[in-house]
A and B are shown apart, each in its own frame.
Chain A
Amino acid sequence: MREFLDMGGYAAFVWPSYAVTLAVVVLNVVWARRSLARSRAAARRRLAAGGGDA
């Protein structure tokens, strides 16, 4: 396990690159869901205000 974490001496470069990229993956899920939720809330407000065509 220790050997694995050490990455042959490249730990300081390998692990941060995995952390940054996987963080980008997770953030994309969070941001996309948040953006959809925001648009749905805005659409709901528009409807409530009587906006839109028939």
Chain B
Amino acid sequence: MSWTWFHRLASPPHIYRLAQRLTPWFAWPAAALIVAALYGGLVLAPPDYQQGDGFRIIYMHAPSAWMSLMVYTTMAVAAAVALIWRMKVAHAVAASCAPIGASFTFAALVTGSLWGEPMWGTWWEWDPRLTSELILLFLYLGYMGLRGAIEDPQRADRTSAVLAVVGIVNVPIIHYSVTWWNSLHQAPSVMRLGKPQLSTPMLVPLLMMLLGFTLFFVAVLLVRVRGEILVRERSASWIREALST
């Protein structure tokens, strides 16, 4: 089997140019979906029969929480690929994921807190779901702190990649925490087997926001990854070429 396509695909100049070209194709659909979903979620969706208009926090909380887990999974997979195949581009992807994931984990925790106060009567509870999500934030911050603390960039890549891979155990714990333990947090209403538990006018804006955030993640990742590739690249000729674009 020929691996040339694989090497070409993973070659930094190729990825750099591809990332640049692809960014608007993710950024603009993301913006359109998020704006449409905001309108759908704030205006078109009817109030919930139990939570009234308070339920609309879901359109910010669930997509942020989804991002926190999806970005971490991407980061851990990229880190594993980078460790196994010693691929610089994969290290660049992993390093790019961390600040994005950390910021959306923060948003998930804050919006969760803002939802918890009126519905559960508390801003915070040391509950399995809330605690494991807080640990996820610490994993992201630990990963970033570790990278910042190691002077040698190659060693920073490898050491932080190990942390990212090990930390993946927290992802299923967060997802299943509401099923495995007695949690204050409700069970999944969309990401579950069988039919989602939301009515269509409530569900459609949520699905649009989830997709919009996912495309947004790809767009931001593509911008960041270019910078991370440049930092790791030593070939003067293509750096010159990349800078001229």
Let me know if B60 is at the binding interface, CB within 8 A. Answer: yes
| A-contacting 9-mer, from B50-58, B126-134, B169-177 | B50-58
Given contacts A13-B115, A47-B236, contact A7 B231 (CB under 8 A): no
List residues 21-47 of chain A with CB under 8 A from any CB of chain B. 21-22, 24-25, 27-29, 31-33, 35-40, 42-44, 46-47
Please determine whether B114 and A17 come into contact, CB atoms closer than 8 angstroms. yes
- Asked if B236 contacts A54 (CB within 8 A), the reply is yes
Q: In the bound complex, how far is the Cα of B207 from the Cα of A39, in angstroms?
A: 35
Do A13 and B239 touch (CB < 8 A)?
no
A8-B53 in contact (CB<8A)? yes
Residues of B near A22 (CB, < 8 A) are 60
Interface residues on chain B, size class: 35 or more
Q: Is B192 an interface residue (CB 8 A)?
A: no
A6–chain B nearest beta-carbon distance, Å: 8
CB <8 Å contact, A39 and B103: no
State whether the Cβ of B160 lies closer than 8 Å to any Cβ in chain A. Answer: no
Q: Give the distance to chain A from B201, nearest Cβ to Cβ, in Å.
A: 16
Task: Decide if the interface of chain B is mainly helix, strand, loop or mixed.
Answer: helix
CB-CB < 8 A to A9: which residues of B? 52-53
Check B34–A17 contact: CB distance below 8 A: no
B239 A43 Cβ-Cβ under 8 A? yes
CB proximity of B239 to chain A, nearest CB, Å = 5
The answer on a CB contact under 8 Å between A8 and B52 is yes
Q: Does the CB pair B220–A32 fall under 8 Å?
A: yes
Interfacial chain B residues near A44, Cβ < 8 Å: 243
The distance in angstroms between the C-alpha atoms of A28 and B232, with both chains bound, is 22
> Chain A: residues with CB nearer than 8 A to chain B?
4, 7-10, 13-14, 16-18, 20-22, 24-25, 27-29, 31-33, 35-40, 42-44, 46-47, 51-54
